[in-house]
Amino acid sequence: MSTYGEFPLSRPRRLRTTAAMRRMVAEHRLHPSDLILPAFVREGAAEPVPLGSMPGIVQHSRDSLKKAAADAVSAGLAGIMIFGVPEDAKKDAAGTAGTDPDGILQVALRDVRAEVGDDLVVMSDLCLDEYTDHGHCGVLDAAGRVDNDATLERYAEMARVQADAGAHVVGPSGMMDGQVAHVRRALDGAGFADVAVFAYTAKYSSAFYGPFREAIASSLQGDRKAYQQDCANGREALRELALDLAEGADMVMVKPGMPYLDVLRDFAEASDVPVGAYQISGEYAMIEAAAEKGIVDREAAILETLTAFKRAGARMILTYWATEVAGRLR
Ligand code: PBG
């Protein structure tokens, strides 16, 4: 910065003097249509079931999910990402409920499409962990490891039943090698060429998934480090990105959000497809807990994190606060 005499020549503070000035020069602006609401639906629930680890979030009943989807339309959201929570007794080693046409996710997809039509992009999580009794994202081999290629066959079947139930977009989130190509081929082969694939491309093994495990009543033993990415690796995410794009991903995601803004930025620069960020359960729970303790200003903290995703290059943001924030943006 140069000066003339004793005064600074440039004063960036001038553009920060009033709220109107700051609004005018803001480089990024959140809009309801940036936001996607992740939602859980629990089989057999007569009423929504609150989640202890995520205050304000529930496992929906079929009825309350329909209402949440209708509210999402009114709020102007981009979409909804639905996760099914089957009855405990229906979990098995193969995750059979995930490919049952009458499984909870498929039933919920039909409900939601009947409710919202094409006014909201209806997305489904495509992964087995909600449906397996061991809690892993795939089927296991004889040694108890997740069997990549056998899992791909299960994902292909999941893609077909989810598309048949009305998903506009499927989100393969299990971090199996080749999952995008397999899902794409399965969709095309079954007449669902228009169903898009939103790939969980860089999905890191994260401590911040904690509350999600309660949300889907997961019985996971051990961890997912043998298939999800290691937080030490950023360049590796670019390799995953190249693979998913080559395999036909229509949109790519980075997950979790806040600890991986560098990866998000890399994706936004390196790819020409829309990039999403998933602000996950633990990120939600942390801010809610801090706000409850009076440590942070809740609304300001939420908006700051969501704006940071846009600044880093996200086109779409999955956040459990989607509907609430959209209401505030209007
Ligand atoms: C896998 C899946 C997970 C989440 C979304 N899809 C969990 C995991 O990989 O352990 C986490 C979402 C969240 O924490 O909010 N089906």
162, 123 Cβ separation under 8 angstroms: no
Q: What is the DSSP letter of 247?
A: T
Residue 92 DSSP code: B
Among residues 320, 327, 322, the alpha carbon closest in space to that of 83 is found at: 320
* pLDDT above 80 for 2: no
Cα 154 from Cα 157, distance rounded (Å): 5
CB 276 within 8 A of CB 224: no
The whole-number pLDDT of residue 42 equals 98
Pocket test of ligand 1: the residue of 155, 212, 279 to mutate, having most ligand atoms within 8 Å of its CB, is: 212
Residues 278 and 285 sit within 8 Å (Cβ to Cβ): no
Q: Dump pLDDT digits (tens) for 74-132.
A: 999 999 999 999 999 999 999 999 999 999 999 999 999 999 999 999 999 999 999 99
Largest separation between any pair of C-alpha atoms in the chain = 78
Ligand 1 pocket member 280 (CB < 6 A): yes
- Residue 291 identity: A
**Domains present along the chain, CATH in parentheses:** 29-329 (3.20.20.70)
pLDDT score for 38: 98
HSE value, Cβ hemisphere, 13 Å, CA-based, for 280:
23
The CA distance from 49 to 127, in Å, is 22
The closest alpha carbon to 205, from 190, 194, 220, 192, belongs to: 220
Q: ipTM for the complex?
A: 0.93
User: Are the C-beta atoms of 84 and 130 separated by less than 8 Å?
Assistant: yes
Phi, psi of 73 (to 5 degrees): -65, -50
Closest CA to 198 of 158, 251, 155: 251
In 3D space, the residue among 122, 117, 136 whose CA is nearest the CA of residue 41 turns out to be 122
- Name residue, tokens 């898009």: 196
| pTM of the shown model | 0.97
Q: What's the pLDDT tens digit per position in 122-174?
A: 999 999 999 999 999 999 999 999 999 999 999 999 999 999 999 999 999 99
Of all atoms in ligand 1, which is nearest to the CA of residue 220?
10
320 annotated among ligand-binding-site residues: yes
For ligand 1, whether the C-beta of 209 sits within 6 Å is yes
Annotated catalytic residues are 203, 255
Distance in angstroms (rounded) separating the CA atoms of residues 281 and 38: 10
* Predicted pLDDT of residue 1: 53
